[in-house]
Amino acid sequence: MMWLFLFSGLIAHTGKSVSASCQLQMNPPSVVVRYGDSFSVNCSSLSNQTFGMGWESTDSGTGLRKGVSSITLDIDAVKKWMIEPQCYSTLSDDTQCLTNLPVTVYKTPDSVSLSQLSEMGPMVEGRMYRMQCDIAEVAPAKNLSVYWYKGNEISFTDAFSEPSASPVNKSSFYNVIPKSGDNGTQIWCEAKLNFLPQGSRKQSKPYEVIVLYPPIFDKPANETVVVSAGEKILLNCAAKGNPLPKYSWHLPKPIQQMHKNRNDNQLILTQSLQFPGNYTCTVSNTHGTKVKYFTVTEAPSSHPGTTAGILMAVIFVSFFILGCVVYHKQKNSSVTSPESLNRGAERLNVT
Ligand SMILES: *[C@@H]1O[C@H](CO)[C@@H](O)[C@H](O)[C@H]1NC(C)=O
Ligand SMILES: *[C@@H]1O[C@H](CO)[C@@H](O)[C@H](O)[C@H]1NC(C)=O
Ligand SMILES: *[C@@H]1O[C@H](CO)[C@@H](O)[C@H](O)[C@H]1NC(C)=O
Ligand SMILES: *[C@@H]1O[C@H](CO)[C@@H](O)[C@H](O)[C@H]1NC(C)=O
Ligand SMILES: *[C@@H]1O[C@H](CO)[C@@H](O)[C@H](O)[C@H]1NC(C)=O
């Protein structure tokens, strides 16, 4: 440090400062190093008028070495969170050149964990919950990214504006408004220093979300069920919900020939023609109640009596028209023998 002050004073005194010929090249140009690890950097002067070179650093320097155009800084073990080595050169005309080496000293987090989960319990659909992720002893926090996963997707990314270069504890908060479909989904957080590769990320244990929500019908609309003779009727009232919903049915009249399936969510009517009317299914759990209406009607064309009636009417009309035609023809040709009339009638009867 002392040397640095002298050096600055020297620049001020000589009145000569950094000029265009002052070109110092670092290899590598910047350093990212884990706390406690080693690194080495080569600094070379691009001027052919170089008189001497040196490295100045808080814990180790090289001093001025005359007659060299490149000089290497070797640090065995980084033991400070903030280091700013500087490479300098002196040219033969007394020009002083100085370049800082950017160094990032890092430490990956000791732990990443979700906290205060015990206070959370099951979540209620539509309410907001604040989740907390604690990242212990990470440096530098300004380069920390926290990813919140819901299912397998990143749903929130957090960053920090932390001036300290030494390790700190950080907490990230994520607001969740659960939907019914989120029941059973896992939420976790992940911390990563963003200059490190994917492999260096650290994840919290996942938290499995339980969402309480009112019943939702699988098929939401009211249904009109048209039945033909002999068919069974299936009224499907199945709904999702947490806790599991209970079903109750309201029937137009007491019915003997019916079953319910195991969950009560389907009503099966046999002998369909006896049961037209309005059926109501009520589904409820601790978070709500939903009602679905079924209208059961008979298919008109499927009634055997009606079909036969229509058929007979059609036949009757055909016969009538045919009879008229035959009669008309006979009248025009002036054939009035009762035989031919009888034949016509016979033909009608036979057809
Ligand atoms: C430093 O760089 C210079 C110029 O690229 C090269 O000549 C020299 O050998 C290097 N020194 C070390 C120790 O890598
Ligand atoms: C760390 O973060 C700062 C501020 O966002 C950024 O300028 C710097 O380049 C980052 N360091 C590295 C090594 O990526
Ligand atoms: C971070 O938290 C741990 C545990 O609570 C504590 O021991 C440590 O001192 C904290 N570190 C900082 C930098 O505050
Ligand atoms: C909600 O999720 C829990 C945990 O995965 C599961 O046991 C339960 O059956 C689910 N409930 C519903 C209604 O999806
Ligand atoms: C079902 O019918 C009832 C009563 O007619 C009505 O209040 C309700 O809005 C209908 N629901 C749907 C989803 O159409």
The ligand 5 site (C-beta within 6 Å) comprises 220-222, 293
Q: Is the CB of 144 under 6 A from ligand 2?
A: no
pLDDT band at 316 (very low <50, low <70, confident <90, very high): low
- pLDDT one-digit tens code per residue, 204-247: 999 999 999 999 999 888 999 888 777 778 899 999 999 999 99
Positive/negative CA dihedral, 329, 332, 333, 335: positive
Nearest CA to ligand 3 atom 4: 136
- The closest ligand to the CA of 74 turns out to be 1
pLDDT over threshold 90, residue 306:
no
SS3 137: strand
pLDDT band at 302 (very low <50, low <70, confident <90, very high): very low
Atom of ligand 2 nearest to the CA of 140: 1
Burial (CB < 10 A; 0-12, 13-18, 19+), residue 172, is buried
Pick the range with the lowest mean pLDDT from 7-16, 149-158, 172-181, 341-350.
Answer: 341-350
Task: Return all residues near 111 (Cβ < 8 A) that are at least 6 apart.
Answer: 134, 135, 136, 202
Positive/negative CA dihedral, 194, 198, 199, 204: positive
Q: How far is the CA of 70 from the centre of ligand 1 (A)?
A: 6
Q: How far is the CA of 184 from the centre of ligand 4 (A)?
A: 5
Q: Which residue out of 70, 71, 73, 87 has the highest number of ligand 1 atoms within 8 Å of its CB and is therefore the one to mutate? A: 70
Q: How far is the CA of 10 from the centre of ligand 1 (A)?
A: 28
Burial (CB < 10 A; 0-12, 13-18, 19+), residue 256, is exposed
- pLDDT one-digit tens code per residue, 253-294: 776 567 777 778 888 877 655 678 899 999 999 999 999 999
Q: Is the CB of 183 under 6 A from ligand 4?
A: yes
Cα distance between the two ends of the chain: 125
Atom of ligand 5 nearest to the CA of 222: 1
Q: How far is the CA of 123 from the centre of ligand 2 (A)?
A: 38
Fill in the amino acid letter for 105. V
pLDDT over threshold 50, residue 338:
no
Q: How far is the CA of 158 from the centre of ligand 3 (A)?
A: 20
pLDDT at 324: 52
Nearest CA to ligand 4 atom 4: 184
Q: How far is the CA of 66 from the centre of ligand 5 (A)?
A: 94
Positive/negative CA dihedral, 295, 301, 302, 307: positive
Residue 350 corresponds to which tokens in the numbers above? 């036979």
What does pTM read for this prediction? 0.74
Q: Which helix (H) or strand (E) holds 5?
A: helix 2-14
